[in-house]
């Protein structure tokens, strides 16, 4: 049975456009992610893709760092897909991993993955040094967490399901207090009252 051709596009911010990725390819389905590539923790579309794919499907990704910038996360995702019998095409690198995988393809993947991981860690180290310097000079005020469209949609989907506020906060990478503030700003907390965001007239603490 012929598998589906599935695309995965990822950009880090709302200001970037995923339309520049996988141009000219005919795809049966596309998953679009707006999230950083340093971790797979909050990449809900990647999780959806992993649940969606079946044996003999082909997943197309513009380049390796779109799938992941951390070597360990990248390996975990690639191994997961390969074990499901899925073929992976990294378009820009011209690299194909799958059932007919040869030693040269694996070697090329391992080398490029090492470079991606190295430069990712280097960027984190430079950021840490910059933050430490700013703290010493009294200029560091901390970063502001911004909710992407993806995270906002995730919150809207989870609240009616009575998923705990604590769990939602962990999934999108913010504190409970920050999540409460975002919910009020977005008008998502109007029907809830109290610390546990319990629905009016409902004494259940299922949302806490």
Residues known to be catalytic: 12
- Radius of gyration for the alpha carbons in the chain, expressed in angstroms and rounded: 20
C-alpha count within 13 angstroms, C-beta hemisphere, residue 115: 7
The three-state secondary structure class of 126 is helix
Rounded Cα distance between 38 and 70, Å, is 6
Residues facing 9 on adjacent strands: 32
The three-state secondary structure class of 164 is coil
Residues facing 7 on adjacent strands: 30, 60
């Amino acid at each position: 049975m012929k598998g589906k051709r599935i695309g995965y596009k990822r950009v880090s911010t709302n200001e970037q456009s995923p339309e520049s990725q996988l141009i000219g390819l005919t795809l049966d389905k596309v998953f679009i992610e707006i999230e950083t590539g340093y971790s797979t923790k909050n990449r809900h579309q990647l999780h959806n893709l992993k649940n969606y794919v079946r044996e003999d499907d082909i997943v197309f990704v513009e380049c390796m760092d779109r799938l992941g910038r951390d070597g360990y996360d990248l390996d975990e995702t690639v191994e997961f897909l390969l074990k499901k019998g899925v073929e992976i095409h990294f378009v820009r690198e011209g690299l194909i991993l799958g059932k007919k995988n040869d030693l040269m393809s694996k070697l090329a993947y391992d080398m490029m993955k090492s470079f991606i991981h190295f430069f990712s860690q280097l960027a984190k180290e430079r950021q840490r040094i910059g933050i430490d310097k700013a703290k010493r000079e009294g200029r560091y005020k901390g970063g502001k967490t911004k909710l992407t469209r993806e995270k906002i949609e995730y919150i809207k989907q989870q609240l009616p399901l009575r998923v705990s506020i604590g769990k939602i906060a962990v999934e999108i990478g913010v504190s409970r207090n920050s999540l409460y503030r975002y919910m009020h700003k977005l008008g998502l907390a109007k029907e809830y009252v109290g610390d546990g965001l319990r629905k009016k007239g409902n004494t259940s603490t299922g949302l806490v």
